[in-house]
Amino acid sequence: MSAPPSQMESLRTGAALSRQEETRVVRVGGEHAWDLLDREVTCDLYLRDGQARPGLLLHRDGRVAADLTVLCADETFWLLLSGEGAASAVDRLGDAAHAGEAVEVIDLTGDLAVIGLDGPFAWEALAAHAGRGVIGLPLLSFFTMDGGTLCLRDGRLGEYGYRFVASAAHATALEDALRDAGDRVRLPLGAASLLTRQAAMLENHVFCADLEGRSDLDAGELQLGWRLSADKAGPGMAAIRERHTAGTARRTVTFRTARHTTDRGIALDGAPVGQVLRLEPCLHGPGFVGLGAVPERMAHPGISSLHVGGVPMLTVSPPLVANRSLYVNAQHHRYAARDEIRFPADAATSRAPRE
């Protein structure tokens, strides 16, 4: 099953709303909240009030247990989690607290809702709702809106985007208010289902914990080294370093094929060398786009000698589409005059290998 083209069109050219029910919300507070999270989370947590940072929770073997974003709000930390280990994160953090530490870990997923607003003109709808001052909100920063809703700018899908953490009772009203704000600036807000969001993450080369995050690759092999602190020795970190030192590590690589195949083995001259993690129809051109895992020496763009199920594949540099969010300037552009914005032809859509 693939993402609906109409939803992807909204996400790629305008803006789309989503109710992100796959995301869990956990609040960590208390005198030793920072100490606990600093031991368990892979990234450095030097955050000021109103700042956020993406990190991971790892299994002991270095595989990803949960993808998370940490928000620092007045010495309380909010965690937005996804992946197979998200549901058990509260128990894990509780068990990791040292004797005598004052820490409170609460799962608020049932009381709070996570709403996404993503697309190259997402900022225009939010500005119409909350004032043009939000255009200046830095990436990975957040503020508290009226009613206590947290508004985080994080580009979760690889587009210009925001995530809102609102009370479950207020979530529908917020969605309606954002749609009304979009209508006032002639920006109709589309919808982005889970399938659409996952397809956008693949095309923009953004890690998806619920798909490739469930593979047997560790965080380093999944190209998530930028989320791993070089100074930490928490769960899973030693296994990642040992695998890299031994020279047995793999790396993910994005690729294109002209045809679909259900085979998941990647071969070179008939010999198996890797595996396919994802393969989906390209919604902006011919062929299919995918994510695979191969030995480090092969994890480079421009390799055309690999095959998957007998189908030639071409490794390419991400992102797999020309991303309009990179060319829209919130200080000068608007959706109603979008045709005036200079936007390059999407050269990425023509790079499928020939049979």
Q: Is the entire prediction scored with pTM above 0.95?
A: no
Task: Indicate the fold that domain 5-195 takes in CATH.
Answer: Gyrase A; domain 2 (3.30.1360)
CA distance 152 to 80: 11
Q: What pLDDT sits at residue 124? A: 98
* Tens-digit pLDDT profile for residues 126-174: 999 999 999 999 999 999 998 899 999 999 999 999 999 999 999 999 9
Beta carbons of 113 and 169 less than 8 angstroms apart: no
pLDDT attached to residue 69: 98
What tens digit of pLDDT does each residue of 219-276 get?
A: 999 999 999 999 999 999 999 999 988 888 899 999 999 999 999 999 999 999 999 9
What is the rounded distance in angstroms from the CA atom of residue 119 to the CA atom of residue 15?
Answer: 4
The residue to which tokens 């047997």 are assigned: 216
pLDDT digits (tens, 9 = 90+) for 306-339: 999 999 999 999 988 888 998 999 999 999 999 8
Q: Which two tokens stand for residue 165?
A: 């953490």
Phi, psi of 185 (to 5 degrees): -110, 20
Domain boundaries, given as residue ranges, for the chain: 5-195
